[in-house]
Amino acid sequence: MFYFIDEILNSITMYRLVLYYLIALVGIALAFCFFGLLPFNPIDLLFSTLLLTVVCWITNKVFARIFNVPANVESVYISALILALIVTPVKPPQDVMFLVWIAIWAMASKYILAIKGKHLFNPAAFAVALTALTINQTASWWVGTAPMLPFVIIGGILMVRKIRRFDLVFSFLFTALAVTLAFSLANHQSLVTVLQQTVLYSPLFFFASVILTEPLTAPHTNRLQIIYGAIVGLLFSPQFHIGAFYVTPELAILIGNVFAYIVSPKAKLLLELKNRVQIAPDVYDFIFTPNQKLSFAAGQYMEWTLGHSNPDSRGNRRYFTLASSPTEKELIVGVKFYPNSSTFKTSMLSMDGNSEIVAAQLAGDFVLPADPQQKCVFIAGGIGITPFRSMIKYMLDTRQKRPAVLFYSNKNVADILYKDVFDKAQQQLGLKTVYTLTGAARVPAAWKGYVGHINRQMIKQEVPDYMHCIFYLSGPNAMVEDFEDVLSQMNVRKDQIKKDYFPGFA
């Protein structure tokens, strides 16, 4: 069941899933309005949604042209739909200017309130907070109602499963509920009533799955995400206040955004293509010259935005792991191309020396352990080798003789990538590389490696002390999950397993 769900989720980018989720919620809300389950006129809700969408689209186009950056249409629609779900629908012409004002500021905040090209605040939350301060009108967060709750939760679980942010969401929910109940006990309120109000008649779950998890304004490592969730959860509690000042949901996330900005990487790079090198029949290395020095840890990933005309349903953003080492001047990403590739990859393949791409949102916990004596086992399939190329090149350049073994699985010999780096690491650092081919019909007679999929017998034979190792898994999602099961059967603890996963994997 979960495998089937994951297969569907993996075929959709994160931003596209968010968009579908929000469209579904607005559609369900329209039906509920028609049948009297929500206290709004369906025409008013439809008008408000369309007006917010049009104004957001126009405003974003204008600012994108002024600041000369690629306009992301998906984020425009996402912000507009979030506003439609948290701002009470208006009856035209009443309060039309309020919707126009809030939509303009939601988009403008991404460009005006940005440092080094990175915006600080969740656009919808900032717009709502600003209108509350300037014209004394704010959001009702009406999506947080009992009729909408089942759909909010089901879609929210799919969203969080897609982006693997369960620790962040659980941290937020636990803290928000704990603080709310603690205040209720202190004020001698009915815990059952307070819990019912918090769960059934507040935007708790919508806020957690949509607002809190926005990648651009959240921290980018697991530990910091847990702290971030706890901070926002504390402030989200309706009873939390400083004197006579009570914190609203939008203020809670804005304060959390400030924390996230302080502790997160700030880089947003405009990169020029220096070279494109074919390194396998369907894999290319793209080598970029950054306009500034990027500090990162070997194995991390970035979000890449490539403006191109008529993008398909997967949009103009992707997440790619950096194949380059922090010691190298250029940034390298290895990209695998499939038949009938997306418009993003088609445009990427046609890039030339005058082409530019935007790289931002440096993130990831898939990095070398702090202890250089910790033994590691790297397991890669196909293009999943890119983070290990980054790590091993870094080890070579810094002359770190870490105890590590690399298992690398491919269908054919021609698919093996970066062998020169791994061979050099074996000579200079003693790093063992174990190759295996799964395309048994095409194994050359001179092949000296393994044949078949990496399995427990292979691991036990090459790494007898595997119980003391940290395992790094990188490759297609199905492969990673299969290896996780294999390691679990070998009694390897979950905290000994790291997986290369990033939002928007599709």
pLDDT digit string (tens) for the chain, length 506 residues: 444 555 555 656 778 889 999 999 999 999 999 999 999 999 999 999 999 999 999 999 998 888 877 667 788 999 999 999 999 999 888 789 999 999 999 999 988 887 766 678 999 999 999 998 888 888 999 999 999 999 999 999 998 988 889 999 999 999 999 999 998 888 888 888 888 888 889 999 999 999 999 888 888 888 999 999 999 999 998 777 676 677 899 999 999 999 998 988 767 788 989 999 999 999 999 999 888 888 899 999 998 988 777 777 777 888 899 999 999 999 999 999 988 888 888 899 988 877 788 898 888 889 999 999 999 999 999 899 999 999 999 999 999 999 999 999 999 999 999 999 999 999 999 999 999 998 767 778 788 889 988 999 999 999 999 999 999 999 888 788 888 889 999 999 999 999 886 554 33
pTM assigned to the model? 0.81
Dist. CA 215–CA 70, nearest whole Å: 18
Dist. CA 425–CA 427, nearest whole Å: 5
- Residue 316: φ, ψ to 5°: -115, 25
Radius of gyration over every alpha carbon of the chain, rounded to an integer in angstroms: 25
Dist. CA 61–CA 264, nearest whole Å: 28
Q: Number of helices (H) and strands (E), helices first, in the chain?
A: 17, 16
Q: HEC profile for 119-164?
A: ECCCHHHHHHHHHHHHCCCCCCCCCCCHHHHHHHHHHHHHHHHHHC
